[in-house]
Structure 1
């Protein structure tokens, strides 16, 4: 018996080991996760087995379940709470309460070369509300910014499918001739491409650096403000698959009331009797004609689809997305497509070494030419309605007006072969080292490349006016743009007692290069090979363009705080730009800012109405890198000449060199207050600022003895002042209903302080000392001369009844350009505002967003009888003066009834109901049932209503004769699982 026992004992031991191992691998761990501060369940908590990607998340009641071995460790993590690690051991039920992380709960803001807690910021930094980024279907990020941040003016110059032609001004206009556009930084790297090539769905946050203290870290390029864009990153936890898509239709918001064929016939006969041509007469008698605006417009559409996957484990985080945007605008053949993919990855190689990439690949397809709108010889806004769009075969006419072959068909561009594709690589790659021997010290190597390759080819065949008259015309272009950045960033962060210090040092190199090959040719044997036969044209004109510049920069920023009450930020940056003169290549840009968190003082009550009170004060200086790379060099222009029967190269002086040419420099002062009431249910900020820009780049007249009449110099000064106010409030939060409101208001005033140092205005450029940079300077319309009026003793004694009056500004009894032209308002807004309201009831949300701009005046170019001799162009319907209609609204329909060319200026202020979005979020119980983490349906109406006194095409657009503004009606779906 003993021997038997000894024989089977090893076998039993082996079986027991196998059983224990099996049992151990099959242990199911369950539990519940709550918040320590209130004991409430925490849904969505990540529960991950340490060292693996295996894990789960808690359900709506905070419960979880997963399989784990006894030796393994579970990591519990949730945004805003301190992560916890627990060894499984023999436990099968693990309940845990997570402790709120006060530091992480506080808002973190990107400030350039790093992040800061909002309470530690001393400069003027504003963030885009998340609802403007996530709840509205935007083509580009500029649409999200418009009206959402005080002090930022976003103006849509045109309304095409791409929506890329926008002007962004931060705190008004500083420069007179150079760019006033802000610097855009995407994932830490300066971005120089088209804003339409960035997928808004990939954006996590947008911060705007407005004052000199905040933007001086970008030195020579920060005087117009900085827009910081951060793309989405992965988060630790299970993989999350998301779909964000929308489809919408576009309709024209408004069109001008142009004369119909019958009205045009009467108008032309009244103005110039006998000028009707045979073809016009024939069309009129047969009841024909063409509504060119109706023919060149349509209902457009747009759709976007983005699919992304994100997640991470203990040492890796990733975000991968693919997106497709397709827009067909309200103008015939106005098309834009964008294909993009993004790959963001961050890997903790060791505890002290981290590497990552933020890479975007995109293709922007702009192929296709839209119908012509304002072209001098074929614009739909100008086109005679008594002309024919199609011939008897149904083809587009080459000459719609047989007697006037100057005019082409506004639809002719749609017949052209056109290909326009832009390929972009934008890649930011970094390596971060946390030095283990000195806690708080880290080094980051930040590199990036932005490469754009654009191919364009256009061919006008003999079925168009251009192609017929030239025997076919081809235009091909290939351009390459490369932007390389290498940054060395050293950070040191330390807290000693009540003292905190954060030091950032930078040394960077940037090189920007652009090349373009262009070939224009015409006169081909046929149209078969389009632009591919460019080399056989009768006339071939090649050209080449090249630009290159480099920027070297060094910067130090010191953030000091004491007891979270007293804050100090000092920044010093030095930039060198290859494009400036030999004696002015380097510039220094310092700034200093102070902050005082008054609410942290002991004399403030611990509880009460006031919850946040912070005072900010800053002053700094930054620059505008505002000249092209070769502006400082003496240059020659080509002037070839005939030498016998051959062409010989010749050159003439075109520009004098200026080794002193340098930066435009802006010094800015900012005083701000951040406030909050009732535990920040009501919060906001107030800022006042003043900026002074000197060393402006202006063209000064010189003696023409050199063959050159102007030279660019650093002269002139401008001033910019303003007030900004923001407020947000949780107005109602009761049960299933809540109402949140946020609004902003800005006042901006700029003026020219000095021009050429002689105290004189520059009337030719409409620049006047003491006035805004962009003003209207013209004769002022004063109604219409009436019958019986004493015209002979008026300032225009040769006028007739029905002629336009002009205000005699100096009262000398005569009208002359030197003394009677006057400033008629400014062209940039004085006031801008935005208002956002969110109403939530259970699973439904209604978002209403509006914005406005006021204080600007624009010429209404539609209110001109600019119809040319013999009335060859159309115009809008007007209230013309006649003896039976003695109006003062508009002069008579006749030749020379407005001999001085007076124009009508109107108040261009407006209020616009920009977006109205109704959304439905699937309840939590339904999400669990169908396996979704997120399910949202929404409907958005855009540009639904505009209230304005301006009677042109639109108060915001640059031209009254371009593609009109469109209304959009969009259905969208957001999914996550």
Structure 2
């Protein structure tokens, strides 16, 4: 452990020295030049009207201004530098400054939107030449959001990309491209490959929005096939910000806001709870309350003094969120540099939760002659505090007539009601779970142009994540009314866990581009290698005697190494692509990757993954001239791609052994225990690659001089040999406690979908507007299983502790992966006739009980009666982004909708099970015999009326959410020029302030994000509304 942190400390010190040396070296290259003021006017070439709001920037810098209401501008610039003029819907223009003092510019309408450059695998292309399905997202779209993870901003912005977020501070955005790509339960199995500056990452790199220049999302498998096995779930190519030639430029942005959870569960108050407690005791068969001397009020005269709702204690209002970033860039002839740094802090809305991060990045580029060398290093230090996973559901259990619990107090609790419940609730409130995480990512790339058009490129990258997680469950002194200690110090504990993940990658490739008249040929050929190392160690001690001593030695019971692992796997690939382009009309591309992976057995390590795509720019044809005034761009695309998946842990082809097992030997009542070993799992050398084959057809349209841009795709993906850890029965003779699993190729699955994105923009004198909409529909179906027709997923069900039978998500032929299979109910027994009929199925049934449907008609209620009742995956999703600008003001609004998914409301289930939900005041009883709410006869574990596997908790999770609304104002340059500021924008915004839904739980969006847990709301951390103000300065 000491060695790990020593190495990382040296890496951070190296990064710091690198940054300082970069600044000293590069700023020394500044040259003196004469500054002067340039002024002028920008108009539209179409109607000669002035253009307000045009971005006027010194090329290669962040210094600039915008034109005023009359299209006029003024800027300080040095002779020899270049001014860039850019405006939405217009072609950009550059003018080099010589002796002029006035520069007037007219901008042409942009009819060449498809000429923008996008990143593809190991290269880049003009969008007009792209034959696959690629989406492009700029830094402006990302920086409009304040978040600890830039990927969260993609929600609703890119068709075909599903982003699931959580309100938990520091939680990763979970991204799925074109539906469920695998049913594997390995962490991150369904997420795309992230490639940062050409270096593959093994997980979400969690970059700050301020670090990113562009994101390019490769959606079709033909585009992803060049990455082989790593591209099975789609690819997100991230380009970070780079330096520019010219004088030193500095940017600074800051924001501060507060957040609030604006939803709640409707629980009983004290009078309602006292009334219900009497009713539920009668429903359980007790006549104790028939005697007025036994009513709760005289037994506890102070009961009505309290009206406690613990959510008021554990849910904190107006919690701060803050974000600060600084950027410095510049350079001289042949060398440029870029430095960024930032801090992000999010104090969670639930007690004991929060996230903070310090991040820094330094990059340097040398481009001279035939050489182009890039190097960068990025570091971040994070602190993540998690609230107890069952905090919200535990607080539901606490009766309102009990006194308020103080999570900051160490005083002993005297409980006259249920000391065990109080103890569990207080433990959840006081538990600590803190992770310290340090990240480092470094890379260097070099390109040498051998001859014109032929280049050799080599990349070397390393990324490392070091974590230390600390979990502490305190000892709570809890006494009953007789002064007897009810809590056991042995259940208190401290756990320390250290983990390290290191990835090394290298690639080398030749690229060639040549134009032969109307023919253009380009291609790459290369090789890549990756090595991934994981290790972890966990130690635990129980028996906390002093809650202020929070180290392992502070616990008195024997320590145990509860877990530990170390594994390495390697991936090797030979990759290639060749593209033919005839007059920008016809494009054909063929690519592939021959991959080897050490996870597989020796005879199954290697596989080839090919792809092909083609595009036809119809609008380049001569016969299109008559349509061009309306449809100026029209491209048809088609692709076929194949990729492989390897979402399982290494060493599956080998049997595993667990040491430290106790074996009793000897006869009589006191056998001797001997330490030994037991086989933990079987080897399965027959595991082979998951394979995905996808066909894609798409069109790109530009209408009315690209004022309206449409992109649409239809795809069909066939997934075969899905990898999944199948639970083995105890009779298999391996594992402990029935936890043994065997990874195997489970079956086949299909995803079919439709995507549409549209952008329309316009201008009326000083008013500019644009609308961008996206629509995504994906249909998922498991077509075959190699085992039984019905397999429970790895999720433990809706209500914790209810046993394996409480699982509700399954894999079944003909249904979505992770579909809900539930017991269907048919109301409450309200008549003697209903009772007699139902007692034939459940002989112990009583009036007021919940009726379970015997769907298979076998005269009993078993798992065979479960039926399909939807899933947690939406039927369709849509996003709408509105951008408006007038004079110096700008306005942005982003809506997102997800429709057709179902959610299992675990908070409601817990409230009903514990007899705490406000609706239960109207529960069935002798005085209310027509109630549709079942009688309370015990908790979930005691009676069938409120089991976690019924349709009682199933709700429509559809929602429409205002993700972001922002109003900004850019101060005119003449008002700030004397301060040395070239640009200043101030803004106010609100994130997630409005949600429209029928769902009655905390949040329909944060209800699980894995294949097994999608749509399961077990009291998950809800998304809060965030209200912010901030500014951005350029110097």
For Structure 1 versus Structure 2, the TM-score category normalised by the shorter chain is 0.7 to 0.9
Contact 1:169/1:180, CA 8 A, preserved across alignment:
yes
1:328 to 347, 352, 358: 347
> Which protein is bigger by CA-based radius of gyration?
1
Higher mean C-alpha deviation, range 75-84 or range 963-972: 75-84
Match of 1:425 in 2: 440
Which shifted more, 834-843 or 647-656? 647-656
Distance 1:45 1:860, change over 3 A: closer
Deviation readout 1:729-765 (Å, 9 max, x if unpaired)? 01x410111221110111110111110178x444787
Alpha-carbon displacement from aligned partner over 1:609-646 (angstroms, at most 9, x marks no partner): 11111000000100112110112212222352268999
1:391-447 CA deviation, whole Å, 9 max, x = no partner?
A: 899655557566533642645466567653111111121112122xx2011111111
1:107-506 aligned at under 5 Å gives the runs 107-128=116-137, 130-156=139-165, 158-164=166-172, 166-178=173-185, 179-193=189-203, 195=205, 197-272=206-281, 273=286, 274=288, 282=300, 285-288=303-306, 290-299=308-317, 300-348=319-367, 350-366=368-384, 368=385, 370=387, 373-374=390-391, 379-390=394-405, 395=410, 397=412, 403-405=418-420, 407-408=422-423, 410-412=425-427, 420-435=435-450, 438-462=451-475, 469-470=489-490, 473-506=493-526
Alignment counterpart, residue 579 of structure 2, candidates 524, 548, 559: 559
Q: Which moved more, 1:416-425 or 1:823-832?
A: 416-425
- Specify the alignment match of 1:775 in structure 2: 819
Q: Is the 8 A contact 2:810 2:820 kept in 1?
A: yes
Alignment partner of 1:716 is 2:747:
yes
Matches within 5 A, 1:18-29: none
- Relative to structure 1, the CA distance from residue 482 to residue 814 in structure 2 (aligned partners, 3 Å threshold; closer, same or farther) is same
- CA deviation vs aligned residue, 1:700-721 (integer Å, no higher than 9, x gap): 6889886248643224110110
Which of 608, 615, 627 matches 2:629? 608
1:752-831 superposed matches below 5 A: 752-756=782-786, 760-762=789-791, 766-787=810-831, 789-793=833-837, 799-809=845-855, 812=857, 814=859, 816-817=861-862, 820-831=865-876
Q: Identify the residue that residue 838 of structure 1 maps to in structure 2.
A: 883
Q: 1: CA distance between counterparts of 2:916 and 2:516?
A: 76
Given the superposition, is the C-alpha separation of residues 410 and 238 from structure 1 closer, same or farther in structure 2, using an over 3 Å criterion? farther
* Structure-2 change in CA distance of 1:497 and 1:884 (3 Å): farther
Q: Distance in 1 between matches of 2:696 and 2:852?
A: 44
Secondary structure of 1:259's partner? coil
Residue 531 of structure 1 corresponds to 551
| CA distance in 2: counterparts of 1:26 and 1:480, whole angstroms | 50
Number of equivalences: 926
Larger deviation, residues 270-279 vs 559-568: 270-279
Displacement, 1:681?
0.3
Residue in structure 2 matched with residue 5 of structure 1 by the alignment: none
Alpha-carbon deviation of 1:694?
Answer: 0.4
| SS of residue paired to 2:326 | strand
Residues 909 and 946 of structure 2 are in contact (CA less than 8 Å); yes or no, is this contact kept in structure 1? no
Distance 1:216-1:639 versus aligned 2 partners, 3 A rule: same
CA distance in 1, matches of 2:365, 2:397: 56
Q: Could you tell me how far apart the structure 2 residues matched to 1:316 and 1:94 are?
A: 31
- The answer to whether the aligner puts 1:877 opposite 2:903 as a matched pair is no
User: What TM-score comes out, normalization by structure 1 length?
Assistant: 0.86
**What's the offset of the Cα at 1:382?**
2.5
Deviations 1:439-479 (A, max 9, x none): 01111111111111222334445457799613963322222
Residues in 2 aligned to 1:480 and 1:63: alpha-carbon distance in whole angstroms: 53
- Please report how far the alpha carbon of residue 679 of structure 1 lies from its aligned counterpart in structure 2 after TM superposition: 0.6
Q: What is the match of residue 17 of structure 2?
A: none
| Residues 964 and 433 (structure 1), Cα distance of their counterparts in 2 relative to 1, 3 Å cut | same
Report whether the alignment pairs 1:516 with 2:560: no
**Deviation for aligned residue 1:27:** 8.5
Backbone CA RMSD of aligned residues:
3.8
Query: Is 1:400–1:409's contact at 8 Å kept on the other side of the alignment?
Result: no
Partners of 1:37 and 1:969 in 2: CA distance: 38
Q: 1:617 to 1:927 in 2, by over 3 A?
A: farther
Q: Is the 8 A contact 1:56 1:66 kept in 2?
A: no
The question of whether the paired residues in 2 share the 8 Å contact of 1:523 and 1:539 is answered with no
Distance 1:62 1:865 in 2: 63
Do residues 975 (structure 1) and 1006 (structure 2) align? no
- Tell me: CA distance 1:77–1:972, structure 2 relative to 1, closer, same or farther (3 Å): closer
Cα deviation code 1:149-188 (max 9, x no counterpart): 11121122x4212233x43211111322352221122222
Give the 3 Å change call, closer, same or farther, for CA 396–204 of structure 1 in structure 2. farther
- 1:901-940 equivalences under 5 Å are 902-904=950-952, 905-928=954-977, 930-940=979-989
Structure with the largest fraction of helix: 2
| C-alpha distance in structure 2 between counterparts of 1:77 and 1:538, whole Å | 69
Residue ranges of structure 1 left out of the alignment (5+ in a row): 1-24
- The answer (yes or no) to whether the contact 2:495–2:539 under 8 Å persists in 1 is yes
Q: Secondary structure at the residue paired with 1:628?
A: coil
Structure 2 residue runs without a partner (length 5+): 1-31, 479-485, 666-670, 735-739, 794-808, 1008-1016
In 2, Cα distance between equivalents of 1:92 and 1:861: 70
Deviation at 1:568, TM superposition (A): 0.8
Write the deviation string for residues 509-531 of structure 1: whole angstroms up to 9, x where unpaired.
Answer: 11111112222123477566531
**Cα distance between partner residues in 2 of 1:628 and 1:494:** 44
Q: Deviations over 1:180-222 (max 9, x none)?
A: 2211222222223555x42111111112111111111211021
* SS of residue in 2 equivalent to 1:951: coil
> Which has the higher mean CA deviation after the structures are superposed, 941-950 or 479-488?
941-950
Work out whether 1:687 is the aligned partner of 2:695.
no
How many angstroms apart in 2 are the aligned matches of 1:535 and 1:797?
Answer: 49
More displaced 10-residue stretch of structure 1: 716-725 or 957-966: 957-966
Q: Is the 8 A contact 1:852 1:910 kept in 2?
A: yes
Any idea what SS the aligned residue of 1:650 has?
strand
Residues 546 and 554 in structure 2, CA contact (< 8 A), matched pair in contact too: no
SS at match of 1:387: coil
Q: How far apart are the structure 2 equivalents of 1:557 and 1:876? A: 63
